[in-house]
């Protein structure tokens, strides 16, 4: 593909709580692969890490674990679920403290980006979710928050970087992830600064 993300350290945070079926978890994994398909990982511009969360958070692989795209795709396919409730606050805190570190591949001259996907509201430490996101923002981490099938989008809007209208996305179901990834790719190809993505208006 003719375009890709600029120098970026990108961490995917995927909801794997009990409400996410195996089929829908696989759809999230495909979304991750679709997003990085056009990224310059082999050339070193983009590094990718991934985490899953339920009641607890698990680091699946770090930013410096894989540099070749085919290894990244294999690692994404092998990601495991953790199940349980939804502890978004712990996931964001873990990304900030464990993923975006020099030891685990974070680069001082690269933009730090989280792409968080969830199908529900926090039900563990929910009062800490938006404050944890704000701590990440203050640390210079840009957060894109994607809510799937949510009737209340205030939490993902609070998690997303400002302006939230450009950084939070609400879709009706997991099937729409494929359409969202295509829309995000088209935004990347319009010459936006780094990985800043234009607001995608879906028919929700």
Residue 27: strand, helix, or coil: helix
Of 162-166, 167-171, 196-200, least confident by mean pLDDT is 196-200
Strand order in the sheet with 8-15: 57-61, 46-53, 8-15, 111-118, 141-148, 168-171
Residue 146: strand, helix, or coil: strand
- Asked if 141 and 114 count as a contact pair (C-beta separation under 8 A), the reply is yes
- Asked if 116 and 169 count as a contact pair (C-beta separation under 8 A), the reply is no
Its CATH class, for the domain covering 8-188, is alpha beta
Lookup result for tokens 């990085």: 36
The whole-model pTM stands at 0.88
pLDDT band (50, 70, 90) for residue 179: confident
Beta bridge partners of 42: none
- Asked if 1 and 35 count as a contact pair (C-beta separation under 8 A), the reply is no
Report the percentage of the chain scoring pLDDT > 70.
Answer: 86
Cα 17 from Cα 9, distance rounded (Å): 25
pLDDT value of residue 15:
95
Q: Name the nearest CA neighbour of 41 among 12, 68, 1, 7.
A: 68
- Asked if 183 and 175 count as a contact pair (C-beta separation under 8 A), the reply is no
Cα 101 from Cα 114, distance rounded (Å): 14
- Residue boundaries of the structural domains of the chain: 8-188
């Amino acid at each position: 593909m003719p375009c890709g993300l600029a120098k970026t350290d990108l961490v995917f945070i995927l909801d794997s709580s009990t409400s996410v079926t195996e089929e829908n978890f696989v759809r999230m994994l495909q979304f991750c692969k679709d997003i990085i398909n056009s990224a310059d990982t082999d050339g070193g511009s983009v590094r990718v890490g991934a985490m899953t969360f339920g009641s607890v958070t698990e680091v699946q692989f770090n930013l410096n674990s894989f540099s070749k795209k085919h290894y990244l795709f294999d690692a994404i396919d092998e990601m495991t679920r953790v199940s349980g409730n939804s502890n978004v606050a712990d996931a964001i805190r873990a990304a900030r403290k464990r993923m975006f570190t020099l030891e685990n591949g974070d680069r001082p001259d690269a933009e730090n980006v989280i792409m968080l996907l969830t199908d529900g509201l926090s039900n563990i430490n929910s009062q800490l979710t938006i404050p944890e996101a704000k701590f990440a923002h203050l640390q210079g981490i840009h957060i894109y928050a994607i809510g799937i099938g949510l009737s209340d989008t205030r939490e993902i809007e609070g998690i997303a970087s400002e302006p939230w209208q450009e950084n939070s996305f609400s879709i009706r179901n997991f099937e729409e992830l494929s359409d969202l990834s295509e829309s995000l790719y088209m935004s990347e190809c319009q010459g936006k600064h780094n990985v800043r993505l234009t607001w995608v208006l879906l028919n929700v």
